[in-house]
Every structure is written in structure tokens, then in C-alpha cells.
Amino acid sequence: MSEIRFPSGEVAIVGAYESPLRKAPGVHPYAIQADCVAGALADAGLEHGDVEGFATAVAFPPEGGDPMEIGEVVEYLGIEPRWLDSTDTGGAAFVSHAGHAALAIAAGFIDVAVVSYGASGRSSPVPAGDYNTGSWGPGAYEIPFGPSTVSSYALAARRHMHEYGTTSEQLAEIAVQCRANAALNPDARYRDPITVADVVESAAIATPLHLYDCCVVTDSGGAFVLASRERAERLSRKPVWMLGFGEAVGQMQMNQMADLTATAAVRSGRDAFATAGMKPDEIDCAQLYDSFTITVALTLESLGFCPRGEFGAFVADGNIAPGGALPINTDGGGLSSNHPGRRGVFAMVEAVRQLRGESPGATVEGARTCLVNGTGGSLSATATTILGV
Amino acid sequence: MSTPAKPVPYPDELSDAWYEATAAGRLLIQRCGACERRQFYPRARCVHCHADALEWIEASGRGRLHSFSTVHYTPNAEFSDDVPYVFALVDLDEGVRVSTRIAGATEEELACDMPVRVVFEAQGELTLPLFEPEDR
Ligand SMILES: [Zn+2]
């Protein structure tokens, strides 16, 4: 296929909502999700009866809940969508849902779609490990050896250090910037500023990653609403247009990752830039999934915002700070604001808020374009979208 | 609270054969009869050319440490009594990468790309191919 096509500028995000909850013991994830769907529809000026398409990521064991099924969520919400998407690529899923929904809307099958998420990663009473897969089949050759999500990402961090001379201090700078952004966000899980020394002296979780290299664990949810151009132009909120999209799967278990220092964002980003007809230097700000500091580092390089192996200098030069060339994770990200287990929905919501001039965290003056990149599993799957106003 | 038992795969014909071999001190990988390339983990078809002409071959057990992480905390309760332990990736000389743990070595003794060799260790009813530095 020589050219991929996407309905650039034909579909908009017209409503967005992030739950202010961060700790919610005793609250079922569906209850959080129901509030988020209502919040996003209210933001859009739409009602439940307008929802023709619905998407959510369905399997939640890593967030300490029973597995979900999209039919049960639809039943709980009391909606009657004619289009469903339960793609679950972990944290990347909600970015994928946005792309899939845009294609369905542009094709005329639906006019309005809701993407939502709710989880109690912090307080769920259901015990859970954090394996990406079961141990029947492919997992038989990795799970008995004791992988964990943090140690899987740590393997990539170690290899990046070996190949490029990257230091823990360079990774720590990413956590420090996210915390500085979170300090401005009243809903962020943690708001007290931290230093590079705080990060590298925090407890080792899985070397070379420390506690503050890792995202927070919260109970929360979020949702956003997509609509056709015709519908968006009749609504009250400023439309945030979907300009480009890509998604890709790399691997599930770490032994299948040929190059530990590049993620599937090489492919999802390539498609997102191609469909938007844009280049990295045309992006004003970005929400880059920050499950761990290394996730951001590899994503900056894989998307082409800086050369391979050079994220450290890119970050040290102030590029990811407000006022820099590419401010990122302006709400504080998963590292400091909100991460129940699958952060992609919050990255989408923050991109919308930022482009409306309504970020609760750091404001990027005059931002017209925002790239969102989700990363799920163990550097497994990515989805990239470019939004614009 | 007692520590849950270590994860044991539900059996299938491939994992049965692979773990029967590890119990006998042999590390198996697959070779494709159509394109002659090797693969890990075991599958029904070749991941390179998609032929179903796969055969088992025994790996030499030698390779290089591609990356490693000392796990100090894990949410997976079956392993929480084992910390710290070193989770690792090893590139076998036969050209495939495996997930494993490093046996009896601490982080200070390890470096990416150092030569390692297999050592078989029991874990409950399974025998796992772990690795140790070759100069040990
Ligand atoms: Zn083959």
C-alpha cells in the first residue's frame, strides 16, 4: 500500500473529562467510568442517547479488578451503541480507540462516539499480579522466570545505558519535569517538587529504575467524545481535530523485542505523521505515555523528536519544559498526576485541554498542535495521534 | 500470608516437550526446515517464513547477557520472597533471545554482552534454564 489515508480534520474531539479522584477505596471501576462518561458528554453538550459508538479497553486484571467485558460496561452505562471497540493494548488502547472511532465516523457509520476508562489500580480488593499475559502458550517461556512490568522496562533502560552511555540522572530529569508540571495541577497525585537527587536516591524497584522513575498508582478514570465535523460545528466547545493516527504492536514478552532501545512508536509515529502530513518540528507540545521515565526517553527518540541515544541532551536543554521546543505531559503525566494502570485516556484528555487553553497544569502558550503517544504492556504496543486546533 | 506457588504453565504439546527437555538438562529451540532460521519461543509455525516445518534443536547453552535488572520489589506475590533476583535476557549463540534469571551472581559481577552459560535449576515441578557468567 503506497499511501495510507486518514480523515484528517474531518473528526473532532468535542468533549473531555478526567475524574478528580486519585484514591477511591470501595468504589467499583464502573462507577468511576459512569461519572466520566456523563462528565465528557456534559462537556460536549451531548446526552447519553447521542452515543452511537462506544470504546473501552476491557481486561483489567493488572489494575486489580476482575476482567471486564465491553457488553457489561455498555449494560452498566445504559447506552445503545451500534459500534463497539474493545481493543486492549494496555495504555495505548484509548489512543487507538480514537483513531478507530474517527475512521468509523468519517465513513458515516456513526456520528458520535465515546471512549472511556475507569479503574481502581490503587484500592481494588481483587488481588492481581502484573503479567501481560497468561502462562498458557507464549507466557510459558517467560512468566516462570519472574518478570514484572518494572523489570521489563528496566531491561530497556539498562540496554540504553550500555549502548549510549545514558545515566540515571538523565532519566531522572524527566520525572523532575513532570513533577514541576504537576505542582500546578490541583488534582495531581503528587505536587511537591522533586530533584534529580531525590529520584536517583529513591528506592531501587528494578535496577536501574527507582521508585520515582515509576508512575503513580491511582483510582481514577476519564472519557472523551468524538464527533463528525458537521456535528462538531454545531456544538459549543472548540473542536479539537484529529489530524493523524497510527498504531503498532511490537512484542508482548521482552525476549521478542529485537531492539530494546526503540519502541513500536517508530511505526505508529511514522503513520501518524504521514496521515497528518506533518513533521516532528511542527508539533507544539506532546503527551507521551510515562509509565516510567525510560518510556518517555524511548518515545522521544522513536518518534524522531531527537536522534537515537540523545534524549538526555534533548531534555537537559530544556526542550520538554513549558517554553521549550516540545513541552510534554503538561498535567504532570502518569509520573506525578494520574495512572490507575492504563493512562492513554488521560493523555488524550490533557491534549484536548491544552489545545483549548484549559490545562490544569502547565500552559503552552499558543499551542495549535499536540501529539499523543500511548504505550501499553511492556513496551509492547503504541498508538500515536496528532491533534490540532 | 503464605507465598503462593510459582507459576506453572498449563500444558500444551510444545511447552510439554520444552520442559521435558529442560528436566533432562537440554535447552531446546526451534529450527525451520523451510528457511533454516531459528526461533524462540516455540510456535506452531515459523515466525519468519510461516512454514510449519519446524524441528527441535538443542542449543549449546552459551550466549551473551543482553540486558538485566535486579528486582527489589515485585507485585507478583509468587516471587516476592525471592527478591532481590536478577531478571535477564540472554542472546544464545544460535541467534535467538531468551528470558531468564541469572543464577548466583550479583549485579556488580554483571555487564551487558558478557558471555554466559546455561545452568539448570529446579523451581517446584519445573526445571528452568538459568544462566551464570561463563568465567565462573
Ligand atoms: Zn521459516
Residue span of the structural domain in which B23 resides: 16-133
On whether residue B47 sits in a domain, the answer given is yes
On whether residue B68 sits in a domain, the answer given is yes
Is the pLDDT at B93 greater than 80, yes or no?
yes
Question: Is the C-alpha dihedral spanning A239, A4, A92, A364 positive or negative?
Answer: negative
Report yes or no: B98 and B129 within 8 Å, Cβ to Cβ: yes
Q: Give the pLDDT band of residue A59 (cuts 50, 70, 90).
A: low
For an interface test with A, give the residue of B67, B85, B90, B113 to mutate (most A CBs within 10 A): B67
Q: Going by DSSP bridges, is the β-strand pair A204-206/A209-210 parallel, antiparallel, or unpaired? A: antiparallel
CA distances from A216 to A175, A345, B52 (A): 11, 15, 45
- Asked if the C-beta of B3 comes within 8 angstroms of chain A's C-beta atoms, the answer is no
Report which of residues A268 and A61 the model is more confident about.
A268
Q: Mean of the pLDDT values across residues B9-37?
A: 97
Candidates B42, B73, B87; nearest CB to A145: B87
SS3 B70: strand
On whether residue B53 sits in a domain, the answer given is yes
Q: Do A137 and B66 touch (CB under 8 A)?
A: no
ipTM over 0.95: yes
Q: Mean of the pLDDT values across residues B70-79?
A: 95
Candidates B9, B71, B112; nearest CB to A135: B9
Is the pLDDT at A239 greater than 80, yes or no?
yes
- Window 64-83 of B: residues touching A by CB (8 A cutoff) are 66-79, 82
Q: Give the pLDDT band of residue B63 (cuts 50, 70, 90).
A: very high
Question: Is the C-alpha dihedral spanning A186, A192, A194, A200 positive or negative?
Answer: negative
User: What's the pLDDT score for residue A1?
Assistant: 60
Q: Mean of the pLDDT values across residues A209-219?
A: 97
On whether residue B25 sits in a domain, the answer given is yes
Strand partners, A83: A53
Is the pLDDT at A61 greater than 80, yes or no?
no
Name the grid cell of A151: 523489570
Name A274's Cβ contacts closer than 8 Å, sequence gap at least 6. Answer: A4, A244, A246
On whether residue B5 sits in a domain, the answer given is no
Tell me which DSSP letter residue A261 carries.
Answer: T
Write out chain B residues lying below 8 Å of A130, CB-based. 75-76
Write out chain B residues lying below 8 Å of A129, CB-based. 75-78
Report yes or no: B33 and B51 within 8 Å, Cβ to Cβ: yes
On whether residue B91 sits in a domain, the answer given is yes
Question: How far, in Å, is the centroid of ligand 1 from the Cα of A385?
Answer: 35
Beta strands in A19-138 (DSSP E): 53-55, 83-85, 112-120
Quick count: other Cβ atoms within 10 Å of Cβ A109? 13
Which residue is closest to A162 within chain B, CA to CA? B112
Cα gap B62→B95, rounded to integer Å: 11
Q: Do A155 and B75 touch (CB under 8 A)?
A: no
Report yes or no: B132 and B116 within 8 Å, Cβ to Cβ: yes
Is the pLDDT at A355 greater than 70, yes or no?
yes
User: What's the pLDDT score for residue B50?
Assistant: 98
Q: Give the pLDDT band of residue B1 (cuts 50, 70, 90).
A: low
Q: Mean of the pLDDT values across residues A309-338?
A: 98
Cα gap A102→A108, rounded to integer Å: 10
Q: Mean of the pLDDT values across residues A26-31?
A: 91
Is the pLDDT at A62 greater than 60, yes or no?
no
Chain centroid to Cα B29, Å, comes to 10
Question: How far, in Å, is the centroid of ligand 1 from the Cα of B94?
Answer: 15
pLDDT in tens, A82-132: 999 999 999 999 999 999 999 999 999 999 999 999 998 999 887 777 887
**pTM of the predicted model as reported, rounded to 2 decimal places:** 0.97
Residue that is written with C-alpha cell 489515508 in the block: A5
| Domains in chain A: ranges and CATH | 11-127+214-388 (3.40.47.10)
Cα gap B18→B22, rounded to integer Å: 6
Q: Do B18 and A159 touch (CB under 8 A)?
A: no
Name the grid cell of A217: 498508582
User: What's the pLDDT score for residue A124?
Assistant: 86
Which residue is closest to A138 within chain B, CA to CA? B41
Report yes or no: A313 and A325 within 8 Å, Cβ to Cβ: no
Helices (H) and strands (E) in chain B, counts: 1, 8
User: What's the pLDDT score for residue A60?
Assistant: 56
Is the pLDDT at A170 greater than 80, yes or no?
yes
Number of domains in chain B: 1
On whether residue B8 sits in a domain, the answer given is no
User: What's the pLDDT score for residue A131?
Assistant: 83
pLDDT in tens, A136-150: 899 999 999 999 999
Write out chain A residues lying below 8 Å of B19, CB-based. 140
On whether residue B9 sits in a domain, the answer given is no
